Structure 1
């Protein structure tokens, strides 16, 4: 059982850019995709085994210098159309944690861990003043956790990683060659539209849901990929990726749990998969480009199809079709390849006769390598709770070979899901961080 954890705020300040933003950069326009994103935050937690208050000073000084490059992150979002780059700064909180780090990492509970974040990222109202919030948490044992919440209005996971890489390189003083120069070119590719009010929220039925963490070690992933390959008759899945394989397994087991609780054997299902479009659109977008460069596709099953290799084939078919469409014409001329799956997903969310799941992968962003502030890579990197039921977040393990999955389902479905023997043949439920690669 996770030890109770109390957080005491010991300092709070706004970190302003080390140099003022030039007058001609005071208004930063959001792109169309930025406008379409709800006003939420991307949460991230970085855990380090040792710390001291000198490191806090180092973090704040380097953050100030980094904000000069990432100047919109020190501003305020206005009317879902632009960011006022007023140099108000990022909110930086320092907090004392009542327990030892080992007490919460032996059996991580993401409901507890979200206390280490600077704001309630699920509430767009709470953090409306700042684009960026940071919280440095000091544990009794001397360890530290850095909680980061960056507005989704200007950032996707790739943008957050780019920012962390530059901030960490600045803090460690390893040289300008490791400092990323951000590109603010999103609006030129996806021009601003007249959307002065945020897109209306979709009314979704609320269900009591719970998040569980599953760890897939490299040997288990290899065995699962081999199983898919051996059972597949399609050349399309001859070499399934780790993400495809694990997304399909979780999808399959979640469907089985839902159908078992409903007392039925068949039911349509769909999986919404996010895609980093930077290398997939015409022309390609540089990795340093800041903003929401995220597309998606929807994979579907027939009412009875739950074979693992069949689900992998559907996911592969979805990404291949997405890539084909994305390279058809320049993005600035036709953005429908991005918007159509989003609109379709909203329709599926409102239906009661389809099991609808959503998956986001943070794999390949190399956050562990990016987040070395001069005292070594983090011992653990994680996101916070997925906010809605039937959501899945995939993250690399520290060794880069395994994958951690955060899965959020209804309480009823999760009770069945965690007992699925096919799942447990490959996944470990909430393994201690000290035993994870």
Structure 2
């Protein structure tokens, strides 16, 4: 498969941003978020099996993206410091590419290295897209299929915001007049978590990108296997484990077991999980609230062996503590102190050799498969992953039946054993064809 970039241009909002909105304030969480990209990639099958309308579709996508930028004007801005985005309509980078194969051929056995060619910028990119808050790539397959990727600076967007922006773009392209879909972005996160001036050097980010290339593997947990995991995870304190809790616990357990096998040492482990706090804070925020409205909590596992239900119980218990105590503290006390202290402790733990540290993000229940640009639901939606060790990312599959797709990044040594772990293989399949899932 060969992907050739055929065009690059800057797309600006179709209507000028009012002078009163030119200075967009980041929230404190935005400020503390590392300068990386959140990338979402959607694949759509061919329309009428042909490519005759490629130019027409291209022009329609560019126009609708320009219209969308009028609502999402910070996406066309420029980050000038760690407090504001200058929304003077600099524009977003728009890239087009041609793929010399059929979409079905690629999806038959999706390859991570090739997948990255559909995404306009690496997660940790700081060079090619300097100055652009958002970057889009539209790739046209020979068969008429399309891949659409959007990368947004994590300084402005979490997964929910990226999905919302993509959905609004799709609705604008499709021309839907459904009032339920015509939702406008709400920019209020800086009011809830006001920004402040501080030295970035004193706040270590919770990222550690590696120079050596790490293996990234895709796993699929079918709905029946997820249901079996949930049943196995039931305990007196967790009567109804969630899908994400159950799958996270299994991956954590198996990853930790192979790490111990390779090192010959039993180490305590920490799992950091990202939490969408929109519905958890008081008063709750709607889903169209733009920004980084996520924070983290940690679950811990000592050196002893623990069954799946024990790990799920630990994950749930620490979430309860986060909801009851920590989240209130973030809103009522010194938010900056609480957040920076958490990041300092987590960064220190991540660097220690006597702790197995894992980071987990779940996009499950974020509606991505209903994003329709006018040619139906996507056949596959996936995400980008940076070159960072011990990361677990999960999302729903295209079936919509409760199945889960996970991307796992481990060291070369750990991954060798991980993808051969009998307990893991009893519930998960490694990189099955997207056309079969």
Give the TM-score range, shorter chain: over 0.9
Alpha-carbon deviation of 1:368? 0.8
1:109 match = 111
Structure-1 separation of matches of 2:374 and 2:419: 39
Q: Which moved more, 1:280-289 or 1:199-208?
A: 199-208
Specify which of 23, 37, 40 is matched with residue 41 of structure 1.
37
Specify which of 86, 91, 94 is matched with residue 92 of structure 1.
94
Alignment pair present for 1:216 and 2:218:
no
Alpha-carbon deviation of 1:285? 2.0
In the TM superposition, what are the counterparts of 1:145-294 in structure 2 within 5 Å? 145-175=147-177, 177=179, 178-195=181-198, 197=200, 199=203, 208-229=213-234, 232=235, 235-264=236-265, 266-294=266-294
Structure 2 gap ranges (5+) = 48-53
Alpha-carbon deviation of 1:337? 5.6
Structure-1 separation of matches of 2:43 and 2:91: 24
Contact 2:122-2:386 at 8 Å conserved across structures: no
Structure-2 separation of matches of 1:326 and 1:168: 37
Q: 1:394 to 1:261 in 2, by over 3 A?
A: same
Alpha-carbon deviation of 1:120? 2.8
Contact 1:386-1:406 at 8 Å conserved across structures: no
Structure-1 separation of matches of 2:338 and 2:290: 20
The normalised TM-score by structure 1 is 0.93
Contact 2:209-2:387 at 8 Å conserved across structures: no
In the TM superposition, what are the counterparts of 1:333-348 in structure 2 within 5 Å? 333-335=333-335, 338-348=339-349
CA RMSD in angstroms, aligned pairs only: 1.8
In the TM superposition, what are the counterparts of 1:328-407 in structure 2 within 5 Å? 328=328, 331=331, 333-335=333-335, 338-369=339-370, 371-400=371-400, 401-407=402-408
Contact 2:77-2:85 at 8 Å conserved across structures: yes
Structure-1 separation of matches of 2:267 and 2:177: 56
Structure-1 separation of matches of 2:120 and 2:219: 25
1:315 match = 315
Q: Please state whether the residue corresponding to 2:170 is helix, strand or coil.
A: helix
Q: Please state whether the residue corresponding to 2:369 is helix, strand or coil.
A: helix
Structure-2 separation of matches of 1:196 and 1:15: 33
Alpha-carbon deviation of 1:206? 5.5
Q: 1:205 to 1:13 in 2, by over 3 A?
A: closer
Structure-2 separation of matches of 1:214 and 1:205: 22
Q: Please state whether the residue corresponding to 2:331 is helix, strand or coil.
A: coil
What is the total number of aligned residue pairs between the two structures? 426
2:50 match = none
Structure 1 gap ranges (5+) = none
Alpha-carbon deviation of 1:168? 1.0
Deviations 1:193-230 (CA, angstroms, capped at 9, x unpaired) = 1136575567777555210000001001111111122x
